[in-house]
Chains A and B, each alone.
Chain A
Amino acid sequence: MNRWQKTGVLLLGCLTLSSAQGEWFGQVGLEQRLFFDSPQFAAQDQHNNSLYLQPQFSSPVGDNGLLDFSAFVRLDSSDENRSHADLRELLYSWSGDSIELKAGVGKVFWGVTEAVHLVDIINQTDTLESLRGDAKLGQPMLALSLERDWGLLDAYLLPGFRKRTFASEKGRLRAELPISEKARYQSSDGAQHLDYALRYATSLDEWEIALSYFNGTDRTPQFLPQFSPTGLSLIPYYAQLQQVGLELQWVQEAWLWKLEAVKRQQNQSDSHASALGFEYSWYGLFESATDLTLISEWLQDSREQSLFGNDLMAGVRLTLNDEASSQLLFLLTHDLDNGEALLTLQGSRRLGEAFTLSLEGSAFINLDKGSPLYSLRRDDVVSAALAWHF
């Protein structure tokens, strides 16, 4: 299915759902991205603007059932890959006394840290929508949850792998070599490999702990060079992965301490990664309503090609607590080994009752020639989006 056929299916889905009893909501937005430097590669455009639509629908089904639908469509002026549509959620959930069943396409978040999401593995990252990995593609799933006094146990069956999204040749924020639309898989089942995952979570007063296991196709690809008559390109290769994850959080007054750690097994080689950090908040700064939160995390990854092999992230979050819910987040991630740094900024506020204005910016500092980010050295960017929420 190409992306326009997918859009058609989505629209059809919308029409079917509109007959049921439930509620439609969502947002429509306009985004302008401004790059500080001229493009690095000849095919790239300087700036781009885009229109996006995110319709959502939610309806009760019987006494214990829920149907949730959410889709995302973006039309981009220059990057054909960024013009994309995705079914983020079409999920039926049924909840009994201490049991919950879910079937369809959904999104699941695991984790506690801010700079990286190491443990989070159920959904593929939509890199076209978020550099920090917060946007995700919908994942087909069958999930069973048991909730008892001893905690929460989730089991997932995940049929149907989603490939990671990448910018096209015309788009900014891309790799030097074009990335092939095709992908290779370690498993002979390819994208049809049936993945599964388990997670146990519990909390005890100010402690929260979760243990997880994933067995299936790695969401993060490796890249293989491919020679063809049109030139050199990269082909994403998705290996099989067994991952054990740990999430730990401890809250003490204005302190929030966090740990995420994973142990991965891939092609008989082991690797591990962790993120350890804290948030500390001052509430009502200088007798105003503003809250200031300091965030810091130390990131470690044993894989050589990892972006965050030995990094220190430090950041500040300002929450104005005003009528417009204004907030601003600065994060600086600094590589302690080679000195390169990534600065990101996120800000948003409400305009009137139904509009929001959000700002995002990223700057790549001190990029090393050997760095996987080197192709982004002229891609410092600020984007502004105006959205109407209905």
Chain B
Amino acid sequence: MKLSPLIFSTLLICSPLTAFSQSAEERGLEIAQEADQRDNGFQDVIVDLKMELSNRHGQKSIRQIKTKTLEVEGDGDKAMSIFSEPRDVKGTAMLTYTHKTKSDDQWLYLPALKRIKRISSSNKSGPFMGSEFAYEDLSSQEVEKYQHKWLRDETLNGVETYVLERIPVDKKSGYRRQVIWLDKEHYRMQKMDFYDRKNSLIKTLTASGYQLYLNQFWRADELQMKNHPSGKSTLLHFSNYRFKTGLKAKDFSRNSLKRAR
């Protein structure tokens, strides 16, 4: 269709107007969707994760986990975590089917008993393996799980960022809200503040060492979570990223937990 000059000029006049009239919520959602969109199509990824837990006296303990993630179209991702350290939990594996809107499904495999246990999906806010990361911090970050709002643009450590507030939709979340800094160039999370149900700042997450994989996917080498009241912190160190390895749904079945190594 050929646009009439009238409609064309109306569009010209109106488009900046619509941009201006966009609410902070719409803008927030748009930025979150763009960030999500840029990470689409990874298919599957395997990564080795070293967790370093430190208390306020500087005492450290280590967890070694291999995680496999499968991208699922139209729903949340499927993920499997396989523990190799501490040695007493070696072989323990956790399987999660995240969903965009309904509760996630989760199973735990106990190798000594050869038993697969269903875990209640309500356990969102509990600490993962005694770390400063809650289950919900580590699960697949679907756009639909939050209400977004753009707060401001800000320069963070010399990087131009969008600052968004997101409110978890799930009432079981341990957080009232989160504030997230995304760099304008690549929409990568630089920093995130977590506010508890009483709206006080309890944790701050910072990302460092972003690397580009397969010319599309940015992943941080390190994520540090600092708990402000307790002084404890957990450092996640990621290594050996492998994208598009050909994992299939059958590699994420309940039965596959028994084969997880």
Instruction: Please provide the 10 A-B residue pairs with the shortest distance between their CB atoms, ordered closest to farther.
Output: A389-B87, A323-B130, A254-B122, A109-B114, A389-B88, A109-B115, A321-B127, A283-B123, A356-B88, A253-B122
Task: Determine whether B239 belongs to the interface, using a CB cutoff of 8 Å to chain A.
Answer: no
Decide: A350 near B120, CB < 8 A? Known: A147-B255, A323-B53.
no
Tell me, rounded to whole Å, the shortest Cβ–Cβ distance linking B137 to chain A.
14
Contact A93 B259 (CB under 8 A): yes
Give the CA-CA distance A27 to B259 in the complex, in Å: 21
- Per the CB 8 Å criterion, the residue count for chain A at the interface is 47
Please, what's the 1-or-0 string for A331-369, where 1 marks a CB less than 8 Å from any CB in chain B? 000000000000000000010011010000000000000
Some 12 contacts from A to B, beta carbons below 8 A apart, are A60-B261, A205-B105, A255-B120, A256-B118, A283-B125, A283-B126, A289-B126, A289-B127, A322-B130, A323-B55, A325-B129, A389-B90
Q: Which of A111, A206, A283, A354 has the most CB of B within 10 A?
A: A283
Task: Determine whether B253 belongs to the interface, using a CB cutoff of 8 Å to chain A.
Answer: yes
- Per the CB 8 Å criterion, the residue count for chain B at the interface is 35
B-facing residues in A374-390 (Cβ within 8 Å)? 387, 389-390
Contact A281 B120 (CB under 8 A): yes
Task: Determine whether A43 belongs to the interface, using a CB cutoff of 8 Å to chain B.
Answer: no
Contact B87 A390 (CB under 8 A): yes
Decide: A291 near B88, CB < 8 A? Known: A249-B118, A256-B118.
no
* Contact partners of A131 in chain B: CB under 8 A: none
Number of A-B contacts (CB under 8 A): 95
Contact B86 A389 (CB under 8 A): yes
Q: Chain B interface mostly helix, strand, loop or mixed?
A: loop
Please, what's the 1-or-0 string for A264-308, where 1 marks a CB less than 8 Å from any CB in chain B? 000000000000000101011000010100000000000000000
Give the CA-CA distance A256 to B120 in the complex, in Å: 7
Contact A354 B250 (CB under 8 A): no
Nearest-neighbor residue (CB-CB) of B261 within chain A: A58
A-facing residues in B47-90 (Cβ within 8 Å)? 53, 55, 61-62, 85-90
Contact B123 A291 (CB under 8 A): yes
Tell me, rounded to whole Å, the shortest Cβ–Cβ distance linking B152 to chain A.
31
Task: Determine whether B155 belongs to the interface, using a CB cutoff of 8 Å to chain A.
Answer: no
Give the CA-CA distance A350 to B63 in the complex, in Å: 13
* Contact partners of B255 in chain A: CB under 8 A: 100, 145, 147, 152
